[in-house]
Amino acid sequence: MAYELYYWDGIQGRGEFVRLALEEAGADYIDVVRDQRRGTGAMVEIMESDSKPHIPFAPPFLKDGDLIIPHVANILFYLGPKLGLAPEDEGLRHVANGLQLTITDFVAEAHDTHHPIDLSLYYEDQKPEAKARSAAFIRDRIPKFLGYFERVLQQNPKGSNHMVGGALTYVDLSLFQVIAGLRYAFPKAMAKREAEYPGLVALHDAVAQRPNIARYLASPRRLAFNEQGIFRHYPELDSAE
């Protein structure tokens, strides 16, 4: 039975972190909302159900048979062992989960650069606040998070090719997406700072060259970054200073 991934159409968003794992593993899955026969209504029906148990608060969520798993890190913690994208050691699986939860925090902060005041407002309604928030994000938070991930990578006892253990995990795939997203949203800032994180850049490049990922990136299933998703490029928010 195919996995069912539920997420908004038209954007990569948080669903992309799950999608990358499924694509790398060559898993059989359905991107439900992109399926013209089912669409957004199928997702909303689950979230607004008055009878289904354990309904999710928001997408992305994954359906495996009757089981519904919400939240990116939770989904990947579930999928990782099934797809061969998690360490075999139980302790290291929790290390991987901790790293993925930290990525979740980082992604939330990236999103808040363009929506710092109110999610219900348009970006245009909070541009001064977004400019201030982005300046602080570039100055303080990008180096804080990427510096941390670089140290974890370099201090991996199994070598600096992977974040956890000696083989590819979903954490590596997620950091590929983070680097790609930051390059799109803040090209000037990343061009200035990338040299400080050689391990993460090498990891990004290695993931992009993996056969299944390379095919996915070249396919129409990989939507382009745009100004409706998490990583948005507004030139006035980007700075190399």
Which pLDDT belongs to residue 35? 85
Q: What is the pLDDT of residue 231?
A: 98
Among 174, 158, 155, 154, residue whose Cα is nearest residue 166: 158
Average pLDDT over all residues of the chain: 96
Q: Which of 34, 29, 21, 86 is nearest to 63 (CA)?
A: 29
- Give me the residue label for tokens 């570039």: 138
| Cross-strand pairs, 61 | 6, 70
Sorted by where each begins, the domain ranges of the chain are 3-83, 90-223
Considering the entire predicted model, what is its pTM? 0.96
Mean pLDDT of 159-180: 98
Q: Which residue has the tokens 């913690």?
A: 77
Residue 36 reports pLDDT greater than 80? no
Residue-wise DSSP of 112-174: HTT-SS-TTS-GGGGHHHHHHHHHHIIIIIHHHHHHHHHHHHHT-TT-TTSSSTTS--HHHHH
What integer is the mean pLDDT of 43-56?
90
DSSP three-state, residue 51? coil
Q: How far apart are CA 67 and CA 131, in angstroms?
A: 42
**Mean pLDDT within 137-146:** 97
Q: pLDDT tens digits, residue range 84-105?
A: 999 999 999 999 999 999 999 9
- Class at the top of the CATH hierarchy for domain 3-83: alpha beta
> pLDDT tens for residues 202-224?
999 999 999 999 999 999 999 99
% of the chain exceeding 90 in pLDDT: 91
Residue 178 Cα distances to 32, 56, 108, 137, 182, angstroms: 24, 24, 11, 14, 6
- pLDDT tier at 116 (50, 70, 90 boundaries)? very high
**Best CATH choice for the domain 90-223 from the list 2.40.30.10, 3.40.50.2000, 3.30.450.20, 1.20.1050.10:** 1.20.1050.10
